Chain A
Amino acid sequence: QKEVEQNSGPLSVPEGAIASLNCTYSDRGSQSFFWYRQYSGKSPELIMSIYSNGDKEDGRFTAQLNKASQYVSLLIRDSQPSDSATYLCAVTRPTGYSTLTFGKGTMLLVSP
């Protein structure tokens, strides 16, 4: 079983719609969860972090965490063409020195 799984997409949504990106992880001991955005040819940049069950909102972005289901999601409201990118879910390892394990990412395409 892969550690962090994401649908590779592409996920296509029209401008102004809500984009919903999903991620599941295998290790129940994982403590911290992150969403990074990566534009084509660029480096990943952090957009959201979440550490406890529930929702966390930051502008147009909402991260949702359900540790019982081992599920993390990212909602993007009022999607813009500039949101078109690959979204990487990252999870910390629960053992040893903490570091991030990334999913393969979901490509989001927002059409005008």
Chain B
Amino acid sequence: DTAVSQTPKYLVTQMGNDKSIKCEQNLGHDTMYWYKQDSKKFLKIMFSYNNKELIINETVPNRFSPKSPDKAHLNLHINSLELGDSAVYFCASSQAGANVLTFGAGSRLTVL
């Protein structure tokens, strides 16, 4: 049973398109995150939700819009994709107030 699952695993799309990545965790955690890992392997926080409430919103273009319908799900929608959006996007979760993250397998986005 996968603890943090992301779909799709791979996305290849053209510039200007819109795409979504879905994430679900079955660990009972209260906090979920989106991290972006670029080609240089730098892993950077984008957003964090605690029990459906947005608590961290880093300096991310507003083309990126997270949504958390419930505390087990955190989705990421990206509008008007750009070449620089190509990266691996990791979803993660943790207990509230804890910093031990469990990561999903990642979603590799390639923008052509």
**A-side interface size class:** 20 to 34
Do A49 and B48 have beta carbons less than 8 Å apart? no
**What residue in chain B is nearest A101 (Cβ atoms)?**
B45
Do B105 and A104 have beta carbons less than 8 Å apart? no
B95-106 contact mask (Cβ, 8 Å, vs A): 1 or 0: 001011101111
Stretch of A21-29, A40-48, A65-73 at the chain-chain interface: A40-48
Do B42 and A102 have beta carbons less than 8 Å apart? yes
Do A99 and B48 have beta carbons less than 8 Å apart? yes
**What residue in chain B is nearest A40 (Cβ atoms)?**
B41
Count A-B pairs with CB separation below 8 Å.
47
Given A43-B90, A97-B56, A98-B97, A86–B48 Cβ distance below 8 Å?
no
B38-61 contact mask (Cβ, 8 Å, vs A): 1 or 0: 001111110010100001100000
Q: Is A88 positioned at the interface, with any CB of B under 8 Å from its CB?
A: yes
Do B40 and A104 have beta carbons less than 8 Å apart? yes
Chain A residues within 8 Å of B56, by CB: 96-97, 99
Q: Is A100 positioned at the interface, with any CB of B under 8 Å from its CB?
A: yes
**What residue in chain A is nearest B97 (Cβ atoms)?**
A98
**What residue in chain A is nearest B105 (Cβ atoms)?**
A43
Question: With the chains together, A98 CA to B104 CA distance in Å?
Answer: 20
Question: With the chains together, A86 CA to B41 CA distance in Å?
Answer: 9
Chain A residues within 8 Å of B33, by CB: 99
Q: Is A111 positioned at the interface, with any CB of B under 8 Å from its CB?
A: no
Do B43 and A102 have beta carbons less than 8 Å apart? yes
